[in-house]
C-alpha cells in the first residue's frame, strides 16, 4: 500500500492573495486528486496569512474528510507544475469538487449567521488599493463609476432593499452612504492584504473568507475584478453576480474565477458607456464563447510525460480507496 501523502507549501512560495493565489493553486490540482481518489493531509503556508508560524490549510479552511497522517511530503507547487488543471465555468460541478475537499469552518458560518439573512440584499465588492493601478489584469474603477452602476442596478431591482458592502477602500463606504438611502451593512475597515506589518496572523484571511461567504448569501452581487467576490459563485453556484471591470488575460488561460463571471449590462446608454470603458481589454473580446466545462488539463504534454513516468517508476501519489472511505465516514 502506498504511503499516505501530505501536500505542503512554505510561506515564501505563496506570496500573493488568499483567493487569487492560495485557493487558486490548491483548486487547480483538485481534479487530479479527485480523479485518483487522493485525499491528502495538508500543510499549506502563505506569506501574508500566518507565515511559517501557522498553516492556512488547515487553519482558515477545514477539511471535508479525515486524512490519514501523511508520511510522504509533496510540494503543492511541484504537483501543480505536473498536474495543473484549467478551471472553467460549470459552477455546480466546481462547487461539488471544492466541497468534496474543503468546508467553511463552523466559526465563520456562525459569524455570517449573526449578520442575518441577506437574500434581500445587494452585495457589492469594491476593490481599491492595488486594483487602482493594476492595469495589466483589469481597469481601475473609480468610486463614482461604481456607485453609478449600483444606482442603475437598484433602479431595476427594487426588491433588494439593503446593501452588504465588502471593500478595502477606506472612503468608499462613506461615499456610498451619501448616494444610497438604504441600510448599508459593512464589517468595517480591512488592511491591505499584502501589508508587510509582521503580524503574520490569520485574521486577515478569516475576514476575507467571511466577506466571500456573506457575498455568496446575497440576492445579487456587483463586483470589480476580484477573486474574493468571484469565489462566492463557487460557494453558491446559483448566485446572481456581475462584474463591472475587465478581466484581462495575462497568462495562457483566463483568470479563474473572476474571468467567468458575467459582465454587467444595462439599457441605460449613459451607464453602458461607463461599463464599456471599464471592460476595455477584457479577455472575452478576443475569445469565442466558452462552452460550459468544469476543468480540463492545462498542460497536456506535461501531464502525459508524468503519466508515462509514473507507470514506469510508480506514483508516490496513488493511494488505496480505503483512504477515501475513511474520509467519507468522517464527513
- Tell me: the pLDDT tens digits for 116-169? 999 999 999 999 877 777 788 999 999 999 999 999 999 999 999 999 999 999
Is it the case that residue 64 has pLDDT exceeding 70?
yes
Evaluate if pTM is beyond 0.75: yes
Q: Which domains does the chain have, with CATH numbers?
A: 5-87+293-329 (no CATH), 103-286 (3.40.50)
Greatest Cα pair distance in the chain: 67
Checking 328-331 for CB contacts under 8 A at 24+ apart, the result is 328/65, 329/66, 330/65, 330/66, 331/64, 331/65
Buried b (16+ CB within 10 A) or exposed e, 147-177: bbbbebbbeeeeebebbbbbbbbeebbeebe
Is it the case that residue 199 has pLDDT exceeding 60?
no
pLDDT of amino acid 133: 73
pLDDT of amino acid 195: 55
pLDDT of amino acid 124: 98
**Band of residue 324 on the pLDDT scale cut at 50, 70, 90:** very low
CA distance 103 to 62: 5
**Band of residue 73 on the pLDDT scale cut at 50, 70, 90:** very high
Instruction: Give residue-wise pLDDT tens across range 267-319.
Output: 999 999 999 999 999 999 998 888 999 999 999 999 989 888 888 776 666 54
**Alpha-helical runs (H) found in the chain:** 24-35, 76-83, 91-99, 106-115, 143-156, 172-179, 203-216, 227-230, 232-235, 269-278, 300-313, 321-329
Arithmetic mean of pLDDT, 63-74? 92
CA distance 123 to 162: 9
Nearest to residue 191, comparing CAs of 213, 169, 210, 206?
A: 169
Average pLDDT value for the chain: 90
**Band of residue 223 on the pLDDT scale cut at 50, 70, 90:** very high
Nearest to residue 136, comparing CAs of 4, 251, 216, 30?
A: 251
pLDDT of amino acid 177: 96
Residue listed under C-alpha cell 487558486: 24
How do 121-126 and 162-167 pair as beta strands?
A: parallel
pLDDT of amino acid 318: 55
**Band of residue 192 on the pLDDT scale cut at 50, 70, 90:** low
pLDDT of amino acid 196: 57
Amino acid at each position: 500500500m502506498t504511503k499516505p501523502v501530505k501536500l505542503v507549501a512554505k510561506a515564501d512560495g505563496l506570496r500573493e492573495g488568499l483567493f487569487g493565489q492560495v485557493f487558486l493553486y490548491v483548486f487547480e490540482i483538485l481534479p487530479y486528486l479527485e480523479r485518483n481518489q487522493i485525499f491528502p493531509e495538508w500543510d499549506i503556508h502563505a506569506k501574508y496569512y500566518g507565515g511559517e508560524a501557522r498553516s492556512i490549510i488547515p487553519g482558515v479552511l477545514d477539511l471535508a474528510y479525515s486524512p490519514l497522517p501523511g508520511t510522504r511530503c509533496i510540494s503543492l507547487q511541484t504537483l501543480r507544475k505536473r498536474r495543473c488543471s484549467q478551471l472553467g465555468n460549470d459552477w455546480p460541478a466546481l462547487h461539488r469538487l471544492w466541497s468534496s475537499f474543503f468546508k467553511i469552518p463552523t466559526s465563520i458560518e456562525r459569524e455570517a449567521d449573526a449578520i442575518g439573512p441577506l437574500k434581500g440584499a445587494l452585495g457589492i465588492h469594491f476593490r481599491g488599493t492595488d486594483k487602482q493601478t493594476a492595469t495589466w489584469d483589469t481597469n481601475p474603477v473609480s468610486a463614482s463609476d461604481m456607485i453609478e452602476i449600483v444606482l442603475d442596478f437598484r433602479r431595476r431591482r427594487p426588491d433588494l432593499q439593503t446593501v452588504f458592502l465588502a471593500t478595502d477602500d477606506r472612503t468608499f463606504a462613506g461615499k456610498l452612504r451619501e448616494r444610497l438611502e438604504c441600510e448599508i451593512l459593512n464589517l468595517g475597515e480591512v488592511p491591505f492584504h499584502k501589508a508587510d506589518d509582521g503580524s503574520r496572523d490569520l485574521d486577515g484571511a478569516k475576514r476575507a473568507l467571511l466577506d466571500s461567504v456573506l457575498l455568496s448569501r446575497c440576492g445579487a452581487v456587483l463586483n470589480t475584478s476580484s477573486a474574493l467576490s468571484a469565489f462566492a459563485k463557487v460557494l453558491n453556484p446559483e448566485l446572481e453576480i456581475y462584474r463591472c471591470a475587465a478581466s484581462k488575460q495575462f497568462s495562457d488561460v483566463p483568470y479563474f474565477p473572476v474571468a467567468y463571471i458575467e459582465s454587467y449590462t444595462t439599457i441605460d446608454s449613459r451607464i453602458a458607456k461607463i461599463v464599456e470603458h471599464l471592460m476595455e481589454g477584457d479577455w472575452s473580446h478576443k475569445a469565442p464563447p466558452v462552452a460550459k466545462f468544469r476543468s480540463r488539463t492545462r498542460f497536456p504534454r506535461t501531464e502525459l510525460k508524468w503519466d508515462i513516468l509514473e507507470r514506469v517508476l510508480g506514483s508516490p501519489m496513488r493511494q488505496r480507496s480505503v483512504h477515501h472511505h475513511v474520509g467519507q465516514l468522517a464527513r
